[in-house]
Structure 1
Amino acid sequence: MSKDSKEMKVQAAYGAEQIQVLEGLEPVRKRPGMYIGSTGPRGLHHLVYEVVDNAVDEALAGHCDQILVVLGNDGSVSVTDNGRGIPTDVHPRTGRSALETVLTVLHAGGKFGSGGYKVSGGLHGVGVSVVNALSEWVEVTVRREGKLHSQRFERGNPIGNLNSETQPKSEKNQTGTTVCFKPDIQIFTTGIEFDYSTLSSRLRELAYLNGGVKIVFRDERTASLNSQKESYEEIYFYEGGIKEYVEYMNSEKDSLHPEIIYVNSEKDSVQVEAALQWCVDAYSDSILGFANNIRTVDGGTHIEGLKTVLTRTLNTFARKRGKRKDGDNNLAGENIREGLTVVLSVKVPDPEFEGQTKTKLGNTEVRGIVDSLVGEALGKYLEFNPSVIDLILDKAIQAFNAAEAARRARELVRRKSVLESSTLPGKLADCSSRDPSQSEIYIVEGDSAGGSAKQGRDRKFQAILPLRGKILNIEKTDDSKIYKNTEIQALITALGLGIKGEEFELKNLRYHRVVIMTDADVDGAHIRTLLLTFFYRYQKQLVEGGYIYIACPPLYKVERGKKHKYCYNEADLQKTLQSFGEKANYTIQRFKGLGEMMPKQLWETTMDPTTRTMKRVEIEDALEADRIFTILMGDKVAPRREFIETHSVELDMASLDI
């Protein structure tokens, strides 16, 4: 057969029968990542959020004020609300019950059109059906119109018909829905164990955002799973809503003004709620934005409107109160927002989110509405509280002056072109690659570790930046000191970071993997914490974007004859010793510092992409991250002592290496 005839045969084989048609929930099981982001821990927990969001939507509609979330002993999760209950009558289009339709048909729900919900968080209408598709089983119970309706599903398929019976007398006239599901291990191959702290953070957040709604979170798993001898329960109930949220965020800080500035207004069916408070001992801002209870981690038009109105309003007051003269420059937005904690929550009837993950609000009209409503309320408050505006302006002017004093040092921040590479720090051993996506930089402590790393690295894509001593604690430092510090300058310039407070420019980042590689001792841990504080407070987008990593060098090298093995923790060491047998015919080398390792050892254990282990630094909960950094690195000693004492009981003190 000729080459041409072979090609014709291949082409002819591609016809209608090769077009795959996925029906029902098949596409979800085929490509789960398209619907929940991933099949790892993040996607697993997203299943719970989808079901809880439905319950919260009932609360937004004014039909629910209690939600119960239970982690079952069998690996299941149940979510119960006291809302109206999913409708159970026959759907005119599908010919099946509305409940079965919602559970088995994508894009079916009460959030499309005008009848079901005015605003909602689960906007794509795939929530509970996706949960059904990706679960081993789902059991739904509906209490509605004096009846108890229930149905079971397995891997998306209904098992039998809807079962209906009269509600027992003890539950007479109660309404609501219970969705109980067990994630499918065939989908979540990395495991189906839920993390209590991850879920509790989101549930607490939802309770703050929906003041007056009580959320009960109960863990009924065995002691082996949750370290509790019996079930553990927390109740989240905040009548003060986001005002209490800001109080919680600032609980370890000294507030500039005790009263939280609060805005709650509506315009053109868009509800805007904001709570603001400035703090004395903070040099960065903490802005949490939400749209229909969804955390908008990538910002959006509501955040843009807030920043605009803050800058304009406070500059107007600065002129009015004589803080800025005619010839003076306006205060910059980052000066005004220094030390500010704000929670901004908008409820939009027809929101436009960028991307399936719903992390950025795109409605252009929301920008002007937030600007108008916050501007009006903030202006009124500050007119009647002149002492508060003076304190805020004094702090902003102090920040402005510090920034002006550091102007020349800040210019070093600008990313240098290849032709200007001589301006990079002299101690930086750069890589030859000019493709940031292929390049990585190791930040190491001291010249000794730096020497081993420089000799052991792959020069094509690995750069080394040694730091001397411990860098500044940025939590306690203003801008002028930051930009004058030699080690901070080296970090900013080597990485190509922007100016603190400006939008992060990915194109300027010189390496897409920034690896912190410190010694496995107390000093190393301290330096690692200082570096993480710097990245989080200086340019948080680096952490949020997943560009920061922590190297995992071995603690031990065990040798017996010609055999050797590197061990990365105590458990690994004990396992290795057992495998070598019970005879004292092996030697154990303990690596106290990276400088003790030969360059070849450092390469094969810690830097070789084919064998190394690295931890990617991620922020699941920005609120908790912010609070922990304040506790550990802030000025107040008492909260830090309490934190250490509380969490020290979780450590194995016998194996603590000091």
Structure 2
Amino acid sequence: MTAETLYGADDLTHLEGLEAVRKRPGMYIGSTDSRGINHLFTEIVDNSTDEGVAGHATKVVVTLHADGSVQVDDDGRGIPTGVHAKSGLSGVELVLTRLHAGGKFGGSGYKTSGGLHGVGASAVNALSLRFDITVKRDGKVHEMSFAHGVPAEFDGPGPKAKFTPSPGLKVVRKMKRGEKTGCSIRYWHDARYFENGAVLDHELVRQKLRNTAFLVPGVSYILRDATEGAIAEEKFEFPNGLMDMVEFLAPDGEKAVSGTLMITGEGTYLENAADENGVMRSKVERRAEVEVALRWGTGYERTVECFTNTIRNVHGGTHRKGFERAMVKSIQDAISRTRGLLKPKEDMPVLDDVLEGMTAVVHVRIPEPQFTSQTKDELSTAGITKVLQGIVDKHVKAWAEDRKTKSEAKIVLQKVVDAARVRLTQKQQKDAARRKTALEGAAMPPKLVDCRTTGISRSELFLVEGDSALGSARMARVSEYQALLPLRGKILNVQKASLADTLRNAEIAAIVQVLGAGSGRTFELSQMRYGRVILMADADVDGSHIRTLLITLFARYMRPVIEDGRLFAAMPPLHKVTTRGRNPETKFTFTQREMEATIAAFEKQGKQVVTPVPRFKGLGEMDADELWDTTMNPASRSVRRITLDDAAAAEEALELLMGEKVEPRRNWLVASSARVDQAAIDI
């Protein structure tokens, strides 16, 4: 029998309820080491925090018991105890035993929330030997217990007590006069689902409570550590919120260059979202609340902490991107308006210079945020970038121009300019020390705008046509994983040139140096410094010629890049079609026909189009946001992968179009002229 006949319906597995969590715990809590155990605690305490953010809780108490269990108590509203009409379960059992169930899916329970997927508390329940909950609500005290997510009744304390299945929420007594509502959860995680030696990190628990107290000034957090027998109690309460947090995060002994600048504001953005039936709706308006606190110190360290709805985003995300863009733009504008700071021909400071010595906290509150994973390490909601950028830019400019803070701002601007000078001096010294004569061993070209990441999994190198496009691309890129190398003019046609002439060409030499993998027979793909190479040229005839020359270079001297599918061509738009009115819409088009069809579609909808329609003659005409949205954002851009399916045919085409012999090329052009759509020619 073949493998195909052996594989049947009985080989399929259907995981019901919380089985999927127990089968693949890392998928729901991020990992199965100590970080996963800490994430269980985070999920429970975040639910209590959401009650505080909504204005219904003032105190959260976390107790670490000697038997390894964790207890979280709050004085919020308590989980609803009524029977859910559709499932027939109480609200408590529904939330704790069903994935994707809760009050945070766009209803009236929470305006903003850190929990959105509805798997947090139920995942903790699924991975616990025992899970007890007490809810004080509606004048009654309700209790329920679970064993590995299954409703159960234990005959004694602790997870080792004997239990029997016992579904249903029980009322144990009436609430006393003056007794507050709230919720109490205690759980014992099951070590079998985690790696050997994985434990709850008490310092991370302390850090989580402290950070949350900074972010929710109206709520006090109490940590009771009973693991050593005697109870050690700490209270975290910070009435000044983020300003207190910045003072706490600032390096010890560092003298402040500025006071703490507090930035608050609200803004709206549009995004596609599903309605209550799961049907996607376009252009749903969202409101964002932004809080930013920052200060500069005399040191060199930089600390930028990012949070969304009180959840720490370790890897930042779109809100950090908006903050960094705004800081660079506003500081550069302030420097250009201040006489005597920059000398003639000195370069403007960049992001690293602006952030030197800075301690900052960025916190946004938004409905239904999008994250890259269940652990919420990185915010991916696209619209928040522009909101945060606008709010921060406005406040920093006002701070730099206000008479009360202008002298303080000038000290900061001087610090930033000095940091840029030191950085450039150090770079020149390193370049001089590392410069070699061998092409493939030479130091990186000074014009390379490199990325921060050292791995190749996400890194991208954009070969950018011209210095003008470099300016917009530099502002638009994600500096963590996107690098830029500007090219001046058209490189040498390597199909006709000799190897010696090729290696002497400055632009080609720069490309080879930056990729770091050699060329020709010495090319080693495993040594390549970037995961992808993207050719970013203008959407005109010259841009097409430049792309062709670059593709020829890779095909002749770095062919493994194409064979491995790592060479791409960006597809920048030609036109920007915008409608008039209170809610203008913008669409980018790539051809004349597409533009005309888009205009016709708008007019058919009764919308008036702004005329004349702007046409991008080059990448440099786009601002940073336009270039990011259309050409550089991995989530929205269009790129063409350069492939080499038939090596012989590709070699023949390159020789015909780019080779030394003119006659075959002229004959081909004449014979193929009828295939050209004259109306589509870019003139």
- Provide TM-score, normalisation by structure 1: 0.60
Deviations for 1:228-271, whole angstroms, at most 9, x for unmatched residues? Answer: xx111111101111110110112614333452100121112201
* Among candidates 162, 174, 184, match of residue 169 of structure 2: 162
Cα displacement (A) at 1:309: 1.1
Aligned pairs for 1:3-82 (under 5 A) are 6-7=1-2, 10-82=3-75
- What letter corresponds to residue 222 of structure 1 in structure 2? E
On the 8 A contact 1:78/1:179 being kept in 2, the answer is: yes
Aligned pairs for 1:107-118 (under 5 A) are 107-118=100-111
Deviations for 1:511-534, whole angstroms, at most 9, x for unmatched residues? Answer: xxxxxxxxxxxxxxxxxxxxxxxx
On the 8 A contact 2:258/2:412 being kept in 1, the answer is: no
Distance 2:437 2:371 in 1: 36
* Among candidates 187, 190, 200, match of residue 194 of structure 1: 200
Distance 1:418 1:436, change over 3 A: farther
Cα displacement (A) at 1:55: 0.6
SS at match of 2:399: helix
Instruction: Name 1:274's counterpart in structure 2.
Output: 292
Deviations for 1:105-136, whole angstroms, at most 9, x for unmatched residues? Answer: 00001111232211111222100000000000
Distance 1:286 1:359, change over 3 A: same
Cα displacement (A) at 1:345: 0.7
Computing the radius of gyration over CA atoms, which structure comes out larger, 1 or 2? 2
Cα displacement (A) at 1:75: 1.4
Distance 1:423 1:165, change over 3 A: closer
SS at match of 1:368: helix
Cα displacement (A) at 1:397: 1.2
- What letter corresponds to residue 508 of structure 1 in structure 2? R
Cα displacement (A) at 1:275: 0.6
Cα displacement (A) at 1:212: 2.2
On the 8 A contact 2:353/2:417 being kept in 1, the answer is: yes
Distance 2:332 2:401 in 1: 14
Residue 266 of structure 2 is aligned to residue 245 of structure 1: no
Distance 1:60 1:415 in 2: 56
On the 8 A contact 1:260/1:275 being kept in 2, the answer is: yes
Distance 1:199 1:397 in 2: 40
On the 8 A contact 1:185/1:191 being kept in 2, the answer is: no
Instruction: Name 1:362's counterpart in structure 2.
Output: 380
Deviations for 1:417-440, whole angstroms, at most 9, x for unmatched residues? Answer: 99734879xxxxxxxxxx999xxx
Instruction: Name 1:508's counterpart in structure 2.
Output: 529
Residue 95 of structure 2 is aligned to residue 96 of structure 1: no
Moved more, 412-421 or 292-301: 412-421
Give the aligned length.
421
- What letter corresponds to residue 14 of structure 2 in structure 1? V
On the 8 A contact 1:69/1:216 being kept in 2, the answer is: yes
Q: Percent identical across equivalent pairs?
A: 37
Instruction: Name 1:302's counterpart in structure 2.
Output: 319
- What letter corresponds to residue 237 of structure 2 in structure 1? F
Distance 2:387 2:435 in 1: 37
- What letter corresponds to residue 162 of structure 1 in structure 2? L
Please list every run of at least 4 consecutive aligned residues from structure 1 whose deviation after the TM superposition is greater than 6 angstroms: 412-419
Distance 1:397 1:71 in 2: 49
Distance 1:188 1:118 in 2: 35
Distance 2:102 2:437 in 1: 53
On the 8 A contact 2:69/2:187 being kept in 1, the answer is: yes
Distance 1:142 1:149 in 2: 5
SS at match of 1:298: coil
Distance 1:413 1:354 in 2: 41
- What letter corresponds to residue 290 of structure 2 in structure 1? V
Deviations for 1:159-199, whole angstroms, at most 9, x for unmatched residues? Answer: 122111443426x4411111110001221352564222121
Residue 419 of structure 2 is aligned to residue 399 of structure 1: yes
On the 8 A contact 2:294/2:359 being kept in 1, the answer is: yes
On the 8 A contact 2:434/2:443 being kept in 1, the answer is: no
Cα displacement (A) at 1:44: 0.8
Moved more, 189-198 or 333-342: 189-198
Distance 2:443 2:246 in 1: 43
On the 8 A contact 2:400/2:410 being kept in 1, the answer is: no
Distance 1:349 1:67 in 2: 23
Distance 1:92 1:409 in 2: 72
Distance 1:151 1:396 in 2: 58
Instruction: Name 1:554's counterpart in structure 2.
Output: none
On the 8 A contact 1:257/1:279 being kept in 2, the answer is: yes
SS at match of 1:392: helix
On the 8 A contact 1:144/1:173 being kept in 2, the answer is: no
Distance 2:308 2:288 in 1: 10
Distance 1:77 1:39 in 2: 18
Instruction: Name 1:106's counterpart in structure 2.
Output: 99
- What letter corresponds to residue 56 of structure 1 in structure 2? T
Instruction: Name 2:336's counterpart in structure 1.
Output: 319
Cα displacement (A) at 1:288: 1.0
Residue 406 of structure 2 is aligned to residue 371 of structure 1: no
Instruction: Name 1:338's counterpart in structure 2.
Output: 356
Deviations for 1:22-50, whole angstroms, at most 9, x for unmatched residues? Answer: 11101111111111122211101110000
Cα displacement (A) at 1:410: 4.2
Aligned pairs for 1:461-610 (under 5 A) are 508=529
On the 8 A contact 2:435/2:443 being kept in 1, the answer is: no
On the 8 A contact 2:213/2:237 being kept in 1, the answer is: yes
Distance 1:165 1:185 in 2: 31
Cα displacement (A) at 1:347: 1.1
Distance 1:360 1:87 in 2: 31
Distance 1:16 1:190, change over 3 A: same
Distance 1:181 1:507, change over 3 A: farther
On the 8 A contact 2:52/2:219 being kept in 1, the answer is: yes
Cα displacement (A) at 1:297: 2.1
SS at match of 1:90: coil
Distance 2:59 2:434 in 1: 52
On the 8 A contact 1:238/1:244 being kept in 2, the answer is: yes
SS at match of 1:85: coil
Residue 115 of structure 2 is aligned to residue 122 of structure 1: yes
On the 8 A contact 1:415/1:508 being kept in 2, the answer is: no
Distance 1:104 1:413, change over 3 A: farther
Distance 1:63 1:415, change over 3 A: farther
On the 8 A contact 1:141/1:150 being kept in 2, the answer is: yes
- Provide TM-score, normalisation by structure 2: 0.58
RMSD (Å), alpha carbons: 2.9
Distance 2:53 2:437 in 1: 52
Deviations for 1:192-232, whole angstroms, at most 9, x for unmatched residues? Answer: 64222121111111111111210000111235xxxxxx111
* Among candidates 185, 193, 211, match of residue 191 of structure 2: 185
Distance 2:363 2:436 in 1: 39
- What letter corresponds to residue 250 of structure 1 in structure 2? A
Cα displacement (A) at 1:73: 1.8
Distance 2:82 2:344 in 1: 70
Distance 1:289 1:75, change over 3 A: same
- What letter corresponds to residue 167 of structure 1 in structure 2? K
